[in-house]
Amino acid sequence: MVVASPNPIRNEKIQVFDLPVIDLSAPRSVVSKLIVKACEDYGFFKVINHGIPEEVISRMEGESLAFFSKTVSEKQRAGPANPFGYGCKNIGHNGDMGEVEYLLFNTDKPSIAQRSKTISNEPTKFSAAVSDYIEAVSDLACELLEGIAEGLWVPDTSVFSRLIRDVESDSVFRLNYYPPTSSSPTSKVGFGEHTDPQILTLLRSNDVGGLQISPQDGVWVPVPSDPAAFWVNVGDVLQAMTNERFVSVKHRALTNSFKSRMSMAYFAGPPLNASMRALPEMVTPEHPLIYKAFTWAEYKKTTYSLRLSDSRLNLFRIS
């Protein structure tokens, strides 16, 4: 921990410290141990040397910027987000708001191709950029999940990645655009505090900061921007499957006064009918089972019935 300063939003404590950075070109056994440690300590880490071609990322970013630069009425052709499509300020359906515009996709190719027609004048180009990006990040998510299983000494090393590789995997892709806040206060909440419901999230942003994580109640840690890297966070399902050995990290995004922030998030999710339960290796007399088994469909339904900052996993606690 280096500095503590007041938060522009409320009187919360801002702590600046180094978050884990994992170099994926290091030997596999080293990487898997470091990932497990980061997931236990923060539920959050950065990966570098991840192998995703720069061109795949820049093509996606270019398409994203082209869309968000359009006129309001052009963008609205791709909305409203229910839950997929273009959204502006409204997040979910229960009254959450933020200074953000976004596009939400489900990740199968036919849906992407269909939706691209409402988004771009060159839908084939747009849809190829999205599909190529999703293919690359889902491979990276699987590699990380296999590393996690190895680091946890789980004999079935594809126990998590299988859920993502499944053709029925219910993953989501999101493009966010946070316009600069020109008036006072200089920082506003772009996307309010929440945990991600899925298994694992891979986030990449342009060179503008704004993301913060909360490793502890009332404490916020700014996440420095690094366009060449991905930030990875543990989702609720992975917290439940590891019987809370890993934590689903609370995070939020703030706007800033000078430059727009763009981010792309891939939420790796299981198939709707998959049953989520703690791995037997994670349940011991010292660590008894914490959550009931649930299908992803049940969990997702609960998620969408609640507000952004509500704790959904608590509703699945055994006692």
- Residues near ligand GA4 (CB under 6 A): 83, 91-92, 94, 96, 104, 172, 174, 194, 196-197, 267, 303-304, 307-308
Minimum CB separation of residue 27 from ligand GA4 in Å reads 33
Distance (Å, whole) CA 98 – CA 210: 13
What is the chain's Cα-based Rg?
19
Minimum CB separation of residue 228 from ligand GA4 in Å reads 23
Minimum CB separation of residue 4 from ligand GA4 in Å reads 28
Distance (Å, whole) CA 32 – CA 29: 5
| CB closer to ligand GA4 out of 109 and 307 | 307
In the block, tokens 């791709």 appear at 78
Minimum CB separation of residue 308 from ligand GA4 in Å reads 4
| CB closer to ligand GA4 out of 50 and 250 | 250
User: Would residue 277 show up in a list of annotated catalytic residues for this protein?
Assistant: no
Phi, psi of 221 (to 5 degrees): -115, 115
Determine which one of 261, 277, 312, 317 is catalytic. 261
| CB closer to ligand GA4 out of 260 and 302 | 302
| CB closer to ligand GA4 out of 84 and 126 | 84
3-state secondary structure of 136: helix
Helix (H) or strand (E) holding 61: helix 54-68
Nearest to 282 by CA among 149, 178, 164: 149
The DSSP line for 84-130 is SEEEEEEETTTTEEEEEEEEEEESSHHHHHHHHHHH-SSHHHHHHHH
Using a 10 angstrom Cβ sphere, with 0-12 exposed, 13-18 middle and 19 or more buried, the burial of residue 135 is: middle
Distance (Å, whole) CA 264 – CA 290: 32
Count CB-CB contacts under 10 A for residue 93: 12
Residue nearest to ligand GA4 (CB): 92
Minimum CB separation of residue 236 from ligand GA4 in Å reads 9
Distance (Å, whole) CA 63 – CA 30: 36
| CB closer to ligand GA4 out of 83 and 209 | 83
| CB closer to ligand GA4 out of 20 and 83 | 83
Is the Cβ–Cβ distance between 274 and 296 less than 8 Å? yes
Minimum CB separation of residue 190 from ligand GA4 in Å reads 12
Which residues are catalytic, by number?
Answer: 261
